[in-house]
Every structure is written in structure tokens, then in C-alpha cells.
Amino acid sequence: MKSGQILILVLLIVVVSLAVGLSVASRNLTNLKISTQTEQSQRAFSAAEGGVEDVLSRLNTIKQDSQVLESGGLDVPVDVGDIRATVNVKGRNVYETVDPIPLGEIAQINLVVNPSTGTKYSGNVTVEWLKNDDPYSAIELTFICEGSGSYDCAGSTVSGTYSQNRLAFSSDNRPPSEPEPQGFVVCPNSPCSSAGTTYKWKWSFNTGGNVRLMRIKSFDKPVRVRVSGEIANPLPTQIYEINSVAKTEIGITRKVQVTRTVLPALPAVFDYVLYSEGDIVK
């Protein structure tokens, strides 16, 4: 009788020990799996991020075929350690801000078609601003032009190799407590007009092949803008979309996406100190 009880007790101990052992082993396997996945995920992310950094560092030397960039993009393979990242670089010839332009900052539009020859865009450009769900705001447009003799700079006749022209627009939905800024065209007065359903106002001009770049500055409130060329004659590339995908040997995939403007936006003070052909007197 005692031997039977001892056998049952031994069996219970074996069963409990086996259950505890299996539980510990299962937990260790789960922790190992999680640790492996975390390490692989970090490797994939680091490789994707490294692919973006590599492409950004040599963006100017990568073949910039505008038709390829504007259609499906250009795939650039980048080896980061033992993982290969596939980086797709795509160009957008419409400048459109997702987030509003903060006060004191600039949106800069590239109007040079071929930097090596200095050929500038020739055609109509449309500027749209103030999305319908945004508060009132005012913008200043600064045009940096290049030409010889007397030539047109976004609607004004100028002279000298480099010249500037400025236009400023305000909105008719300003509250009574906010006075209209002096020297601003109050939309919808000419030359601005209603833009449609997405943006409130728009203005179009012909570059005449003389405008190198356009700079947009917001007043009062941050503002969103959209700048486009003609359908049959689009602007040169304005924004690069860079998508980098990396995959580890066990199939963990990570993706990094960034956007970068073709031209870095110089500070607002740039408009008031550069392209002055005379001596600067302090």
C-alpha cells in the first residue's frame, strides 16, 4: 500500500516538474523569438535608414532623369552592412506643403530647368494658397530674376543681371480687429482670383524665362500653398520623395520615407541682403 502511494507521489512530482520545465522552456523560447525579432527589426530599420542617408548624401550625383523621376522613380540599391536596402527616388514637379509654412520660414520654388546650363523655366506658373479650412493669412512672393538689359520679372520691368520683384496678397476674410497690411493686394481683387474647392485663392504669372526662383513667406498665420506649372509644360522637379525598404534574412521588413525639397530654403533675411548690386552700407 505504501509503495503504491509513493509511486503516485513520484508520478505527481514528475508531472509537476515536467510542466514547470515546459513552461520555463516555452517562456525562454518566446523571449528568444521576441529578442530575435527585435534585433532583426532594428537591423532592417537601420539598413533602411542608412539607405536614405546614403542617397541623400549623393543626391546631386545620382542620375536625375526627370522622366524617370516623375513617372515611377529611380531605384537605387544600397548595401548597408550585410543587408541591401532598395531606395526609390521619385520627383514631384508640383510644390505642395502638407504642413503650413510656419511664420518666419520660407517655401522656395525652383525654376531652373537645367542647372548646368542655367536654363530657366518658361511658361505659366499658378500659385494657390490658404486651404479652405485654414484661418485668414497673408503671403509675400519674392521673385529672383536673371537677365540682361531691361526684362520682365514676374510682371515688373527690371534691369541689371540679378533683380527682385515682390508681390503681397491678403485675404478678405480678415476679422475687423485685424487691419489690412499696407501694400497688400486684398483677394479676390485683381490679379488674384478664387482657386476652387481645395484652396481659397490663386494667382498666375508667366516667367518669361527670367525667374530663377520664387520664395513664399507667410504673414499673420501659417499657410499652406501649392505651386504648379502648365499641364503640358510642368515645372522642374521641386520635391524628392525617398522610400527605402530593407529586408533581413528571416523576412523582417522595414520602410523609411522622407521628402526633401530640391532647393534648401534660405532664411527670410536673404531677400533683403542679396542681389544688391551696389555697396552695402551699414
For the chain, the straight-line distance linking the first and the last C-alpha, in angstroms and rounded, comes to 111
Residue-level pLDDT at 39: 84
Contacts of 118 (CB under 8 A, 6+ apart): 112, 146
d(CA 77, CA 252): 18
Q: Please report, as a single letter, which amino acid is at residue 75.
A: D
Query: What string of DSSP letters covers 210-243?
Result: -EEEEEEEEESS-B-EEEE--SSSPPPP-EEEEE
Which residue has 534585433 as its cell numbers?
A: 39
Per-run averaged pLDDT (10 residues), the chain, 282 residues: 66 73 71 74 89 84 57 82 89 87 87 86 93 81 90 89 88 76 85 87 92 89 91 89 90 89 76 56 52
Pairing type for strands 225-228 and 95-96 reads: antiparallel
The region, left, alpha or beta by phi > 0 then psi within -120 to 50, assigned to residue 104 is left
Residue-level pLDDT at 163: 87
Residue-level pLDDT at 128: 93
Residue-level pLDDT at 1: 54
160 — phi, psi (to 5°)? 100, 155
d(CA 282, CA 269): 15
Residue-level pLDDT at 204: 93
Residue-level pLDDT at 219: 83
Burial class (CB in 10 A: 0-12, 13-18, 19+), 199: buried
d(CA 169, CA 139): 5
d(CA 152, CA 242): 36
Residue 77 Cα to chain centre, angstroms: 22
265: part of which helix (H) or strand (E)?
Answer: none
Domain positions in the chain are 94-236
